[in-house]
Structure 1
Amino acid sequence: MVDLVQAHPSGGYILDELHVGMAAEKTVHVTEERIRLFAEASDDFNPVHLDEAFAAKTAYRGRIAHGLLSAAFGSAVVGTILPGAGSIYISQTLSFHFPVRIGDDVRIQITVIELDHEGARAQLKCEGFVEDKLIMDGVAVVRVPRRRKLSAR
């Protein structure tokens, strides 16, 4: 069973607050600007992402977003909602099933599937959907804080 949660009031869940089945979602609208900015940030100027004339001649019949742009939306959920602030990526597997295009809304769902209390790690199922179609999935391992830092105030 999935237990959909919102961001913790402190900004992040600590290890003892997590349980298998906890999940969080975020939907991100893919725009021309996001693709352009991602190309600049990643230095990936593949014309299948940026040049409609080129992309129209490919198997995709038009421009598609970078696969890792959609994966970065998952990173946003991990870093800001579940587990949230203080969590650190250790590893990530990914499989891409369908392309994402300008104008698509990508819904990312992150679900806790395993906890390692000794290692302070959580294993997370990462899925991306456009409408109800699974466009990507994988598993992330993240380090999760054991306790909150006291405010410096």
Structure 2
Amino acid sequence: MNTGPHPSGGYILEELSPGMMAIKDVIITEERIQQFAEASDDFNPVHMDEAFASRTAYRGRIAHGLLSASFGSAVVGTILPGAGAIYLSQSLAFHKPVRIGDVVQARITVAAVDAESARVTLHTEGYVGGELIMGGEAIVRVPRRRRPARD
């Protein structure tokens, strides 16, 4: 079941259950790659220089793997579980390169909820054109109750 953003901005622990899923589609642009390189200080020429990248096994520039992975972080922090969720760990495996013009679909699915520790296990996946480009698992801490609204 595809889950949208909670009206409060985030789900609390008791509202989460296995199978809940949220999706975000993001296009890879030259500008995003440049901004990510500047933010991460990763100017590897396979991402930045077409002449260099054309001589690699990828036969052209590819996006940073962690750029694509960051879209999953956007889902976790803004949709599911949303505001208040704190990343504790993330495993990732990259399966296919992502290129300028590709639309990455970040898909986050609740796999397990541990009420005692207030931790949620999430399946984290990325797709381009229906093909899995990366997958992994995240553990996040989720609030047990909402903060009261401030005046």
When normalised by structure 1's length, the TM-score is 0.98
Q: CA deviation at 1:113?
A: 0.3
Q: CA deviation at 1:81?
A: 0.3
Alignment of 1:25-104 (within 5 A): 25-104=23-102
Q: CA deviation at 1:15?
A: 0.2
Q: CA deviation at 1:152?
A: 1.3
Q: CA deviation at 1:53?
A: 0.2
SS for the counterpart of 2:75 is helix
Whether 1:140 and 2:150 are equivalent positions in the alignment is no
Q: 1:17 aligns with which of 15, 19, 37?
A: 15
SS for the counterpart of 2:57 is coil
For structure 1, the 5+ residue unaligned runs are: none
For structure 2, the 5+ residue unaligned runs are: none
Deviations 1:91-134 (A, max 9, x none): 00000000000000000110000111010000000000001100
- The 2-side partners of 1:68 and 1:109 are apart by 15
Q: CA deviation at 1:14?
A: 0.2
**Over aligned residue pairs, what C-alpha RMSD do you find?**
0.4
What is the aligned-residue identity percentage? 68
When normalised by structure 2's length, the TM-score is 0.99
